[in-house]
Amino acid sequence: MIISQTLEQELDRRGLQLSEFTELVLRLLDYSIICRDESQVEQGLYDRYLRIDTLVDDFLSIMAIRVLHDRQFHYVRAYPPGAEVPGLGDEVNQPFNSGLRARLNQQEVALVLVLRSQYDKALREGQVDDDGAVTLSFEALAIAMKNLLQRSLPENLTERRNLLKRIRQLRLIQYNQEDNLDAGEGWIRIRPQIVNFVSDEALAVLRGEEPDDITEEPANSDIA
What is the per-residue pLDDT across 194-209, written as a single tens digit (0 to 9) for each? 988 876 666 666 666 5
Tell me, what's the pLDDT at 212?
A: 47
- DSSP assignment string, 41-106: HHHHHHHHHHHHHHHHHHHHHTTT-EEEEETTTTEEEEE-TT---TTS----PPP--SGGGPBP-H
- Domain-embedded: residue 218: no
Residues in the chain: 224
In this structure, the answer to whether residues 44 and 120 fall within a common structural domain is: no
- What is the identity of the amino acid at 147? N
Who has greater pLDDT, 83 or 94? 83
Domain end residue (candidates: 49, 68, 101): 101
Which of the four pLDDT bands, split at 50, 70 and 90, describes residue 81?
confident
Reported as type and span, the H/E element at residue 174 is strand 173-175
Question: Taking the CB of residue 207, how many other CB atoms lie within 10 A of it?
Answer: 8
Tell me, what's the pLDDT at 5?
A: 75
Tell me, what's the pLDDT at 93?
A: 40
Whether the per-residue pLDDT at 82 is higher than 90: the answer is no
In this structure, the answer to whether residues 162 and 202 fall within a common structural domain is: yes
Domain that holds residue 192: 106-212
Tell me, what's the pLDDT at 104?
A: 80
Q: How many domains does the chain have?
A: 2
